[in-house]
Chain A
């Protein structure tokens, strides 16, 4: 058996290692995902530099910023799909012998669905490939409101239904870290509420959520604003010309993070 540990029991495995005696079983996991001085260059362009963040078990991080600020890039860095040009991503309290990507779900712009397969077959595949637990598969479709469409080929799903099916994947195969890229895109109001409930439940179970978003998440979350300075420069271009003393007109991505105590924190 060359394949690494069964992921279906990942949460349990993490819990056991974090708390070998079994005290506080079911309580929040003590995981912490942090990025230190991250920078990324794509296509010869510096997307961002000097990004720091830290998010622990039961916490959500909302990554905001204008289009092109690098929200998706940051999520892909965390997932291990891109290499940072400098800096590092660190996960403490998780499984040391497997990568962050293997302990994380990545929900990108594209839903990773095969139109030729039915809703159920699509979910079955990701369930088996990502290592889900037996009980979770049946309830996953219910949880996202697709229970009546199991036999329908995914080609006939609407954009919102595709999104819901992609979300069902996160429930079918439990993993402690959720990396969500615009999770509310294409969802209707009821879908967004349900997503917020699912995310709250995930956090309550000790999970970590990093979500790139424009819309409010619907619950308390730390905020990481990418390219904030860049944006202020762009918007303040006229004042820059008027000589506001800011000499550096070169676009420079800059990120800062609000601590929970800081007054910058917003209820999203």
Chain B
């Protein structure tokens, strides 16, 4: 009896009653600790420090009195609402295009990813030079074909912001298209075959098969893209530098502008003001992904 009971006794320590920690828990703690350390030192402390810097009510008074801030808020909203929706609709259409089985489309998808894979700075500078009013490629071509001078693209705040949105779309469209392609490929082919047998048009196939299965993914992608686009510094800074006359700033570039002017309090206040818009979206995303 005793020999049979012994192994049972030995198994007890792995149960919850045991006071010490199992080697599995111990190693778990050891292996997770580098990230916990990184989080505390480079996320928690900076965020806390940033909020502490943003604690003065007077910073917000200055911020709200600054006409550049008001303009940046409007620019950011336009950038996010218009830019993201245009981008996601194009990505949805292109995801349907890229799943077509053609050799040339496969080659095109190979090139299509380039804007996302290469760094922003060379390509955005390339676009910036292309738009130079005097010697840029675009205005040279306009002059050659129409004999008229092209617009001074980046010197007009509305045009410049529009082009910054196009730059953003150029850069991040491949990524979202790739995600939506993966979503489309996950739809079983039999659904489409059955619909074809029933004589469904391509619009009906999209409306009743593709869209219902893609809706959630599409919404998730749109929200994630919105959050990230609020932090898109490169598309505006490298193209216009916030100009002309600081009229094309978005919140991401405004924060850095204040930092360079040695107004860290304002810089942090500008970010804190954006949090009520960002945090609900972040909460929504976390609910969705941590399931």
Q: Do A and B come from one complex?
A: no
